[in-house]
Structure 1
Amino acid sequence: MLFIVAIFVVITVAVAFVWFAPTITTPRIIFDVRPDRPAPFGYKMGWIAVRSIDTIAVVEALGLVGPVISNWDSGIGTVYDDQLGERRLFVSPPVDGWTFVVGLALPHPMSPAFIDKWTPMLDGLAARFKDVQYYFSYPLIDFYAWAKYTDGKLVRAFATSDAGTVLSRGKPTREEKALGLKLFELRGVRERRGDAGGEIILHPTEDHVMRLAAKWSIDPTTFGPASASQALGWIAEAPAHWRPERLRKSA
């Protein structure tokens, strides 16, 4: 009798394992590797534009983790996904000589209360590539940023949020001025006066970020089948040291 019960127990455990196995194994994410043409991005997104056709060199320069081949459709879909895009980036095939690193996992300028992860990332990239540009557009928190490096040197960097100017380095470029942005901390409508007595000016919007990208390199919201031939890029995870860290207060 005990022998029969033991057999039933073994069978029950075996069946249970087979039944629950799909739920206890780690899911494997498979990205589409069929070459396709560029897909647009830019709104509610961050990206780096690097003047290079060597995509794997860009992956290596940034220290991205576990790169896997992916086409445009899977890559852009991943970085816009709330879960998949939290730690992943898409490194695109070249478009007109530019490689794009796309994703909200990119570091961005933050308040002095946080360790600066943004500057070292861009400085390191600019040391290896002639032209490096950074853009971030996220209207949900009224955050907009851009930066331009040429020949390894910072030309201009600016970031603003709903709390005001986060960062401003270098003089506003001719292209920025052409957009009508004086980039003061006061915001609003031209030719009105605020309580502080200074001119209230137009605050940056997503449209300004895209228009500036078009002047400095390429506006990625215009990408489509005619932008480049079919090709493949890379999906990779952002390195752990990019994660935001607060500065520790000294005793």
Structure 2
Amino acid sequence: MDISMGDEPRRLTSCWLYWIAVPTGDQAGVMATLGLTQPTPVTFAEAETIIDEDGHGEAEGNPDGLSRVYVSPEVDGWTLVIGWWCDPCDGERDDEVLRRVTELSARYGRAQAYYYGAQGDGSAWLIAERGAVLRRYCATGEAEDDLFTLGEPLPLERARRNELGLSSSWGKAVGNDEGGSEWKSAAFHLAPKIAAALGISPLALTAETRVRGTGVLALTPQGAEAEPVT
């Protein structure tokens, strides 16, 4: 385990959490595909603080959260990239995130991007395999949510709706069916469950998580063009 003694893997979270998950330990390759540069080693403890600061827009020099991301070491066979820059349903950057996640899936077989608002602010997920998008869905309560929908519902989505007694086929928008309020409430909390079911979630890391390598803080393309983040 190439991390500092006493620095154990830990749950990485924030009130507003955005991340990309790739089934590989090729940290350098993931960074190259995403255009991330200037990696600086950080511990899990440091990453926890940075992720929370960036998620709240409190980091000096990074008020919009787009300048930097945390790139994990290999955790249970996966690499996580965490930061606002990974948001799959940002109205200004959704096309870029979709493209980059699709490129990762072409290189590594699969790739995913998620958003989760731990204070009841919703969920979003983007699932790609072998260079193609299988699903993108946003459940944040915004009027634009339906504009992001791509692909067919995931098995976990259908299963959750069946548990609620709702049809497994429905319209694009969160509330666009007879059980809209029930589905909205359920969908708001699905991102961590989908991430864990399909691979790994930063919310599920523990001291027992298998780790190889060292996590880094890296600049995004936007960050590389801006003033240094302190």
Equivalent-residue separation in structure 1 for 2:104 and 2:39 (angstroms): 18
Identity fraction in percent? 23
Amino acid corresponding to residue 225 of structure 1 in structure 2? A
Displacement of 1:147 in angstroms is: 1.3
Aligned to 1:83: 59
Equivalent-residue separation in structure 1 for 2:110 and 2:120 (angstroms): 29
Amino acid corresponding to residue 62 of structure 1 in structure 2? L
Q: Which moved more, 1:146-155 or 1:44-53?
A: 146-155
Displacement of 1:186 in angstroms is: 5.1
Aligned to 1:16: none
Q: Which of these residues, 1, 9, 12, is aligned with residue 41 of structure 1?
A: 12
Q: Which of these residues, 78, 99, 103, is aligned with residue 79 of structure 2?
A: 99
- SS of 1:39's partner is coil
Q: Which of these residues, 95, 110, 115, is aligned with residue 136 of structure 1?
A: 115
Aligned to 1:21: none
Q: Which of these residues, 178, 195, 208, is aligned with residue 226 of structure 1?
A: 208
Displacement of 1:117 in angstroms is: 2.2
Unaligned runs of 5+ in 1: 1-32, 188-195, 244-251
Displacement of 1:92 in angstroms is: 0.5
* 8 Å CA contact 1:186, 1:198 repeated in 2: no
Say yes or no: does 1:169 pair with 2:150: yes
Equivalent-residue separation in structure 2 for 1:79 and 1:114 (angstroms): 20
Structure 1 residues 131, 153: CA separation in 2 closer, same or farther (over 3 Å shift)?
A: same
- SS of 2:108's partner is coil
Structure 1 residues 237, 186: CA separation in 2 closer, same or farther (over 3 Å shift)?
A: closer
- SS of 2:74's partner is coil
Displacement of 1:142 in angstroms is: 3.1
Amino acid corresponding to residue 18 of structure 2 in structure 1? G
Amino acid corresponding to residue 12 of structure 2 in structure 1? F
User: Computing the radius of gyration over CA atoms, which structure comes out larger, 1 or 2?
Assistant: 1
Q: Which is bigger in relative contact order (C-alpha 8 A, separation at least 6)?
A: 2
Unaligned runs of 5+ in 2: 226-230
Q: Which of these residues, 147, 161, 179, is aligned with residue 160 of structure 2?
A: 179
Structure 1 residues 127, 230: CA separation in 2 closer, same or farther (over 3 Å shift)?
A: closer
Equivalent-residue separation in structure 1 for 2:135 and 2:224 (angstroms): 22
* TM-score normalised according to structure 1 size: 0.69
Q: Which of these residues, 63, 66, 80, is aligned with residue 38 of structure 2?
A: 66
Equivalent-residue separation in structure 2 for 1:174 and 1:133 (angstroms): 16
Amino acid corresponding to residue 153 of structure 2 in structure 1? P
Aligned to 1:236: 218
Q: Which of these residues, 155, 159, 172, is aligned with residue 138 of structure 2?
A: 159
Aligned to 1:121: 100
CA RMSD for the aligned pairs?
Answer: 3.0
Could you give the per-residue CA deviations for residues 3-30 of structure 1, whole angstroms, max 9, x where no partner exists? xxxxxxxxxxxxxxxxxxxxxxxxxxxx
- SS of 1:128's partner is helix
Displacement of 1:221 in angstroms is: 1.6
Equivalent-residue separation in structure 2 for 1:222 and 1:70 (angstroms): 19
- SS of 1:116's partner is helix
Structure 1 residues 61, 222: CA separation in 2 closer, same or farther (over 3 Å shift)?
A: same
Aligned to 2:191: 209
